[in-house]
């Protein structure tokens, strides 16, 4: 090689390496409204925590961009032979971020940790009767009954390293004090925590030894919780952050109107609905009907459903961004009943007729409870609904309050009608049937969010069968039956699916998953 | 003197106890911590067990007694939300709030006092009228709106200053300070102005009113007649005599600045005690709320004590009385 060629080569190499540095040094600064309360994946079963930690820890299975279940720390799984449950074949050659090897012992340990009384995620393992380590890379989860959806239901069950947790006194999640795992992490996932100042800033860096093919090009990411939405928007528009989730509906135009920013819109899986006090003998907040509860009559509930003008709510309150709902999960979720996708039409005439048939030709007054800080535009929605109810003679006495105060009131049956939003944690129709439609049963832990205690013997009978049915067609037939019954009886008034609105700079490519989780592994900064 | 300070400190313990008592009697109305601590899938039985473990089923008096008892032993408990020690959480946030409050106070003094003197000496000038008008606007707009306005003008439109957070901070012996970096000062400016605007207006109007009053008194007229230079007259004789009431009000207000920096901290995502308190309310984090309120009560007592001591330093008459 001549002197000149050498110099050119050196120059070229220099330029190339410069490019490489330019392309690789990608810091992503992002914000969300809530700081993950803890770094312990078993301590709190809440979306901010699970969403954040899914970037650091991994489960046996994980959800893809379209929410489908795909292999993660397990490469495959199949039903056990001769008994109920699942066998998971684990991925070999995976290491935790501290270098320790991942084996079935870690899964076993994590199962024990996550199903302990101190863990908030233990309900995921209610169907599990036994877990057996077969060999280093095979583990069996035995369930009390056939459980076709078990692998889907543990997508957020994250695996900790046994030795790491035990040697740091974090063998159990911290409930009312802190432990090592509250602030420190050691996962197998694509990112790890470089520094954390709770409530202020958390810095993540890629895990160079991650087993999967890297799709992102982020070299560092700084997360800041920004509780005030106006501040968050300003931070985005001033360029101090690259991405924020979520932004309020009313700020969409602000962001869209600016060069260099984009709004990402999707449907969340959360269905907003009204519920009734099905087993109340009398109304609590009525000024005219004090000796009965008209809502025990399905005709009255149907009248209320006919009174709702969902198209106007969509247009006026949500700028056309909601999807009207016919049942407690949106279309596209497994188990969605296509046979029952009509919702009661907006028909004031019919509503008045129904009320007259039920013996309330002049309507009646009742109390409507709503949150004012839980769902998008929740208070405005309830005001709109109250005036729509009033138009047919249902005079809603609206009372709204913060969510921290709300659930205890509902648990104490302090309502005539109430607002509720439900996101199916397993992304299957069985979830809302279990929590919202099955009769309250503390012992079996069923119907725990069925505040009004809607109760139908057939629904109660079908739920365990749905949970255990392996044949998809037979399962769907039973779900269709439940949906048909609950629609017929107007157990709830499903209103709409809540939109998901994120905002980012134009140069950020990311995936907006329907569970509102922000996965760093799909982010590219251009 | 030492006796006086000690007496005040003992009094402060009772103030803090009273605040803690009031706070605790209100906490039950804030909401239910358990539903905030657990996920939707957590069974009712598990929720009840946790409620029992945390002692939330105990009678109010018992809970209050446990809280104060632990606190007297130096145990501030653990946060329901983050599960971290509360003492550490609050101690980590104190520097941010104090620096913000002090800088806001300094801005209000260094702008408010000269402006007050100026507007008192030239009551009819155009500049005076302009200053009075603008500060009136400044004091009538809520802090929240002032903050958002400043953010949108200087952060978003002009892009001069950061819109949130503390910028660059340095650790000095456990004290995280933003006073030693340019980035830190840039981040501090907008929130400090937002927090200081009300104080500034108050200081200015107070100084102006006092000053106008003093300027009419006999000894000023006499000094004027004797030919004392105007500069000396205004700033030595007149201003010094306006300072006692000004210091009282400013001092008392400073306790409020620290306590009510909540709004400013929220608007600027300023990681101080106020923001922590706000997050704690949202999560019904009773241990953090309790300790925060007690700490704030202590601040008020401390500030009042300092104000009392400053009186003595400024007003010679008090010292004379003390000697007698």
Q: pLDDT band at residue B273, thresholds of 50, 70 and 90?
A: very high
Does residue B83 fall inside a structural domain?
no
Q: What is the dihedral of CA B186, B190, B193, B197, to 10 degrees?
A: 170
* CB proximity under 8 Å: A 393-412 to B: 402, 404-405, 407-408, 411
Instruction: Say which of B31, B54, B165 has its CB closest to residue A404.
Output: B31
Split at pLDDT 50, 70, 90, the class of B308 is confident
**What is the mean pLDDT of the segment spanning A253-257?**
88
Best B30, B32, B39 member to test A by mutation, with max A CBs in 10 Å, is B39
* Whether residue B205 sits in one domain with residue B66: no
In a domain, B134, yes or no: yes
Specify whether B147 is located in the same domain as B232. Answer: yes
Quote the minimal CA–CA distance from B250 to chain A in Å.
29
- List Cβ neighbours of B230 (8 Å cut-off, separation of 6 or more): none
pLDDT greater than 80 at residue A69: yes
Residue B77 falls inside a structural domain: no
Q: For A45, which of B38, B45, B284 is closest by C-beta distance?
A: B38
Please check whether residue A250 touches B, CB under 8 A: no
Check residue A3 and report its DSSP letter. Answer: H
Is residue B241 assigned to a domain?
yes
Q: What is the 3-state secondary structure (H, E, C) of A401-430?
A: ECHHHHHHHHHCCCCCEEEEEECCCCCECH
pLDDT, mean over chain A: 90
User: Which residue, B40, B72, B104, sits at the end of a domain?
Assistant: B72
Token code pair at residue A520: 């760093």
> What is the rounded distance in angstroms from the CA atom of residue B29 to the CA atom of residue A477?
46
CB pairs under 8 A between A and B: 147
Q: Which of B164, B265, B285 to mutate to test the interface with A (most CBs of A within 10 A)?
A: B164
The predicted-structure confidence for A311-327, as pLDDT tens digits, reads as follows 999 999 998 889 999 99
Q: Which residue of A has its CA nearest to B281?
A: A404
Confidence class for position B319, pLDDT limits 50, 70, 90:
low
CB proximity A175 to B under 8 Å? yes
Task: Give the residue carrying structure tokens 């106007």.
Answer: A312
Q: Region A505-526: what's the mean pLDDT? A: 92
Is A234–B81 a contact, with Cβ atoms under 8 angstroms apart?
A: no
In this structure, which long-range contacts are made by residues B275-280, counting pairs with CB atoms below 8 Å and at least 24 apart in sequence?
Answer: B275/A199, B275/A227, B275/B93, B276/A199, B276/B89, B276/B90, B276/B93, B278/A227, B279/A35, B279/A199, B279/A227, B279/B81, B280/B79, B280/B81
State CA B261 to chain mean position distance: 6
**Same domain, yes or no, for B31 and B168?**
no
CA nearest to A236 within chain B: B156
Cis bond leading into A16, ω under 30°? no
For helices A472-488 and A457-468, what crossing angle results, to 10°?
160
Ranking A65-79, B265-279, B295-309 by mean pLDDT, the lowest is: B295-309
| pLDDT band per the 50, 70, 90 thresholds, residue A20 | very low
The verdict on A472 touching B (C-beta cutoff 8 Å) is no
Q: Give the per-residue pLDDT at A17.
A: 39
The string of pLDDT tens digits covering residues A377-419 is 999 999 999 999 999 999 999 999 998 889 889 988 999 999 9
Report residue B140 as tokens. Answer: 């009538």
What is the nearest CA distance from A184 to chain B, expressed in angstroms?
13
3-state SS assignment for residue A525? strand
Select from A200, A239, A242, A444 the residue whose CB has the most chain B CBs within 10 Å, as the one to mutate to test that interface. Answer: A200
What region, left, alpha or beta, does residue A218 occupy, with left being phi > 0 and alpha being psi -120 to 50 degrees? Answer: beta
Beta bridge partners of A423: none
Q: Which runs of E-coded beta strand occur in chain B?
A: 170-172, 175-177
Residue A42's pLDDT is 94
Domain that holds residue B56: 2-72
The count of structural domains within chain B is 2
Q: Report angle CA B265, B266, B269 to the nearest 5 degrees.
A: 75
How much is the ipTM here?
Answer: 0.84
Secondary structure letter of residue A213 according to DSSP = P
CB proximity A237 to B under 8 Å: yes
Q: What pLDDT shows up at residue B177?
A: 84
Site from B36, B43, B83, B158 to mutate, A interface, most A CB atoms within 10 angstroms? B83
Q: Which of A354-358, A450-454, B24-28, B209-213 has the lowest average pLDDT? A: B24-28
Whether B117 maps to a domain, the answer reads yes
Over 80: is that where the pLDDT of B237 sits? Answer: no
A408, two tokens: 């205890």
- Which of helix, strand or coil describes residue B210? helix
For the cut 70, the answer to whether the pLDDT of residue A6 exceeds it is: no
pLDDT value at residue A61? 96
Lowest model confidence (mean pLDDT) among A150-159, A182-191, B24-33:
B24-33
Q: Compare all CA atoms of chain B with the CA of A240 and give the residue at the minimum distance.
A: B162
Residues B142 and B49 in one domain: no
Claim to verify: residue B264 and residue B298 sit in the same structural domain: yes
Residue with the larger pLDDT of the pair B241 and A53: A53
pLDDT, tens only, B161-179: 998 888 878 888 778 888 8
Closest Cα in chain B, distance from residue A415 (Å): 17
Task: pLDDT band for A235, please (50, 70, 90 cuts).
Answer: very high
Nearest CB to A176 within list B35, B44, B53? B53
Q: Is A259 part of the contact surface with chain B (CB cutoff 8 Å)?
A: no
Same domain, B140 and B276: yes
In this model, does residue A10 exceed pLDDT 80? no
Strand-pairing partners, residue A364, are A394
What spatial distance separates the first Cα and last Cα of chain B, rounded to whole Å? Answer: 13
DSSP letter string over A276-305?
A: E-TT-SS-SS-SS--S--GGGSHHHHHHHH
Indicate whether B114 and B250 sit together in one domain: yes
Quick one: B271 exposed, middle or buried, by C-beta within 10 A (0-12, 13-18, 19+)? buried
Angle, CA of A311, A316 and A322, to the nearest 5°: 55
Strands A220-225 and A394-401 come out as: unpaired
* Res B322: pLDDT: 52
Strand order across the beta sheet in which A138-143 lies = A74-79, A85-90, A138-143, A128-135
For residue B245, pLDDT over 60 is answered with yes
CATH code at position B114: 1.10.3720.10
| Element of type H or E holding A206 | strand A201-206
Q: Where among B44, B72, B100 does a domain terminate? A: B72
Interface contact A230-B267, CB threshold 8 A: yes
DSSP codes, B93-141: HHHHHHHHHHHHHHHHHHHHHHHHHHHHHSTT-HHHHHHHHHHHHHHHS
For residues A60 and A73, the answer to whether their CB atoms sit within 8 Å is yes
pLDDT exceeds cutoff 70 at B89:
yes
Please give the Cα distance from B272 to B258 (Å, whole number).
10
Q: pTM here? A: 0.86
Is A121 an 8 Å CB contact of chain B?
yes
Taking alpha carbons only, the member of B153, B147, B151, B177 closest to residue B265 is B147
Q: CA nearest B162: which of A30, A217, A211, A236?
A: A236
Residues B49 and B197 grouped into a single domain: no
Q: Taking CA A72 as the corner, what is the angle to CA A67 and CA A73, rounded to the nearest 5 degrees?
A: 150
In a domain, B33, yes or no: yes
DSSP SS3 for A367: strand
Asked if residue B94 and residue B52 are part of one domain, the reply reads: no
In this structure, the strands spanning A27-32 and A243-245 are: parallel
Given an 8 Å threshold on Cβ–Cβ distance, is A120 in contact with B44? no
Which range has the worst mean pLDDT, A159-163, A274-278, B122-126?
B122-126
Q: What average pLDDT score do residues A220-236 get?
A: 92
Tell which of A32, A115, A120 to mutate to test the B interface (max B CBs under 10 Å).
A120
Separation between Cα atoms, residue B241 and residue B222, nearest integer Å: 15
- Among A172-186, A189-203, B26-40, the range scoring the smallest mean pLDDT is B26-40
Q: Are A385 and A396 in contact (CB under 8 A)?
A: yes
| Residue percentage of chain A with pLDDT more than 70 | 95
Per-residue pLDDT at A12: 42
Q: Helix, strand, or coil here: A272?
A: strand
Count of H-run helices and E-run strands, chain B: 15, 2
Give phi and psi for B66, each to the nearest 5: -65, -45
Question: Stretch B305-320: mean pLDDT, rounded?
Answer: 74
Does A199 sit within 8 Å of B271, measured CB to CB?
Answer: yes
Strand A394-401, strand A323-324: pairing: unpaired
Q: Is the per-residue pLDDT at A2 higher than 60?
A: no
Under an 8 A CB cutoff, do A235 and B163 touch?
yes
Q: For residue B53, which residues of chain A lie inside 8 Å, CB to CB? A: 175-176
Contact with chain B for residue A198, Cβ under 8 A = yes
By CB neighbour count within 10 A (0-12 exposed, 13-18 middle, 19+ buried), where does A418 fall?
buried
* Res A16 pLDDT > 50: no
**Residue A260 touches partner B, C-beta closer than 8 Å:** no
Cα–Cα distance measured from residue A285 to residue A301, given in angstroms and rounded to the nearest whole number? 17
CB distance A106 to A165 below 8 Å: no
A262 in helix, strand or coil?
strand
The confidence score (pLDDT) of residue A46 equals 87
Under a CB-based contact definition with an 8 Å cutoff, are residues A215 and A206 in contact? no
pLDDT of residue A13: 42
Tokens 């028909």 belong to: A347
Measured between CB atoms, does A222 come within 8 Å of chain B?
Answer: no
CA-wise closest residue to B71 among B9, B134, B13, B155: B13
Q: Do both B101 and B241 map to the same domain?
A: yes
User: Which chain B residue has the Cα nearest residue A176?
Assistant: B83
In a domain, B181, yes or no: yes
Of B83, B269, B281, the CB nearest to A178: B83
Same-domain status, B24 and B140: no
* Per-residue confidence (pLDDT) for residue A442, from 0 to 100: 83
Quote the pLDDT of residue A3: 45
Name every chain A residue with its beta carbon within 8 A of the beta carbon of B84: 178, 182-183, 198
- Residue B48 confidence (pLDDT) above 50: yes
To the nearest whole angstrom, how far is the Cα of B107 from the nearest Cα of chain A? 23
What is residue A355's predicted lDDT score, i.e. its pLDDT? 95
Nearest to A335 by CA among A231, A429, A222: A429
pLDDT given at position A25: 63
Q: Are A77 and A61 in contact (CB under 8 A)?
A: yes
CA torsion angle A227 A229 A235 A238 (round to 10): -170
The nearest CA of chain B is from the CA of A135 a distance in Å of 32
Whether residues B41 and A228 touch (CB distance < 8 A) is answered with no
**Residue B143 placed within a domain:** yes
- B19 shares its domain with B167: no
- Chain B residues within an 8 Å CB radius of A197: 92, 271
């Amino acid at each position: 090689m001549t002197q000149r060629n050498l110099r050119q080569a050196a120059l070229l190499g220099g330029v190339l390496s410069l490019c490489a540095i330019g392309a690789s040094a990608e810091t992503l600064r992002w914000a969300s409204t809530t700081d993950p309360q803890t770094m312990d994946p078993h301590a709190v079963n809440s979306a901010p925590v699970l969403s954040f930690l899914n970037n650091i820890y991994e489960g046996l299975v994980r959800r893809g961009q379209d929410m489908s279940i795909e292999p993660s720390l397990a490469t495959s799984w199949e039903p056990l032979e001769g008994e109920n449950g699942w066998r998971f074949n684990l991925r070999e050659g995976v290491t935790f971020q501290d270098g320790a090897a991942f084996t079935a012992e870690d899964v076993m340990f994590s199962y024990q940790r996550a199903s302990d009384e101190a863990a908030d995620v233990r309900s995921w393992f209610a169907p599990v009767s036994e877990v057996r380590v077969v060999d280093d890379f095979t583990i069996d989860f035995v369930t009390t009954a056939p459980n076709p959806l078990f692998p889907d239901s543990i997508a957020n069950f994250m695996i900790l390293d046994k030795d790491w947790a035990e040697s740091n006194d974090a063998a159990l999640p911290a409930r009312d004090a802190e432990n090592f795992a509250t602030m420190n992490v050691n996962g197998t996932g694509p990112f790890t925590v470089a520094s954390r100042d709770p409530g202020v800033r958390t810095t993540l860096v890629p895990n160079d030894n991650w087993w999967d093919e890297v799709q992102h090009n982020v070299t560092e990411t700084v997360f800041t919780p920004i509780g005030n939405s106006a501040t968050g928007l300003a931070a985005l528009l001033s360029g101090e952050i690259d991405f924020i989730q979520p932004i309020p509906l009313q700020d969409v135009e602000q962001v869209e109107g600016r060069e260099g920013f984009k709004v990402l819109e999707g449907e969340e899986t959360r269905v907003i609905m009204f519920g009734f006090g099905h087993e109340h003998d009398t109304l609590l907040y009525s000024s005219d009907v004090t000796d009965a509860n008209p809502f025990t009559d399905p005709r009255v509930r149907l009248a209320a459903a006919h009174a709702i003008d969902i198209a106007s709510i969509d247009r006026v309150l949500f700028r056309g961004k909601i999807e009207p709902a016919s049942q407690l999960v949106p279309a596209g979720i497994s188990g969605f009943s296509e046979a029952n996708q009509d919702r009661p039409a907006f028909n004031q005439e019919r509503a008045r007729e129904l009320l007259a048939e039920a013996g309330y030709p002049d309507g009646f007054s009742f109390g409507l409870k709503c949150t004012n800080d839980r769902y998008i535009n929740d208070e405005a929605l309830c005001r709109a609904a109250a005036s729509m109810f009033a138009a047919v003679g249902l005079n809603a006495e609206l009372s709204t309050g913060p969510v921290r105060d709300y659930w205890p009131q509902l648990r104490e049956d302090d309502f005539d009608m109430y607002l509720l939003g439900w996101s199916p944690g397993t992304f299957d129709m069985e979830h809302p049937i279990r929590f919202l439609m099955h009769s309250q049963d503390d012992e079996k832990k069923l119907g725990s969010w069925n505040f009004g205690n809607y109760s139908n013997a057939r629904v109660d009978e079908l739920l365990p069968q749905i949970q255990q049915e392996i044949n998809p067609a037979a399962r769907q037939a039973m779900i269709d039956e439940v949906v048909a019954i609950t629609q017929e009886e107007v157990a709830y008034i499903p209103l709409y699916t809540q939109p998901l609105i994120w905002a980012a700079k134009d140069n950020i490519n990311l995936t907006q998953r329907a569970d509102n989780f922000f996965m760093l592994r799909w982010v590219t900064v251009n | 003197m030492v006796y006086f300070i000690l007496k005040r400190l003992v009094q402060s313990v009772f103030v803090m106890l009273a605040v803690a008592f009031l706070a605790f009697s209100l906490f039950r109305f804030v909401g239910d911590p358990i539903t905030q601590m657990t996920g939707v899938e957590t069974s009712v039985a598990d929720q009840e067990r946790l409620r029992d473990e945390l002692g939330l089923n105990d009678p109010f008096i018992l809970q209050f007694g446990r809280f104060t008892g632990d606190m007297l032993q130096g145990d501030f408990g653990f946060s329901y939300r983050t599960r971290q020690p509360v003492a550490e959480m609050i101690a980590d946030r104190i520097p941010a709030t104090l620096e913000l409050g002090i800088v806001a106070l300094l801005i209000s003094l260094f702008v408010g006092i000269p402006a007050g003197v100026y507007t008192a000496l030239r009551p009819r000038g155009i500049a005076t009228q302009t200053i009075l008008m603008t500060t009136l606007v400044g004091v009538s707009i809520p802090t929240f709106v002032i903050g958002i306005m400043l953010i949108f003008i200087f952060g978003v439109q002009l892009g001069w200053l950061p819109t949130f957070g503390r910028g660059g901070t340095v650790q000095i012996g456990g004290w995280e300070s933003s006073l030693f970096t340019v980035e830190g000062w840039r981040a501090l400016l907008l929130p400090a102005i937002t927090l200081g605007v009300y104080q500034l207006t108050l200081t200015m109007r107070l100084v102006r009113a006092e000053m106008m009053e003093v300027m009419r008194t006999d000894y000023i007229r006499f000094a004027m007649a004797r030919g004392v230079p105007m500069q000396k007259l205004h700033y030595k004789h007149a201003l010094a005599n306006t300072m006692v009431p000004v210091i009282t009000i400013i001092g008392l207000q400073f306790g409020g600045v620290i306590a009510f920096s909540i709004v400013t901290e929220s608007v600027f995502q300023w990681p101080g005690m106020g923001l922590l308190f706000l997050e704690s309310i949202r999560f019904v984090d009773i241990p953090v709320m309790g300790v925060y309120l007690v700490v704030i009560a202590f601040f008020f007592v401390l500030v009042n004590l300092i104000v009392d001591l400053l009186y003595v330093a400024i007003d010679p008459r008090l010292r004379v009385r003390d000697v007698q």
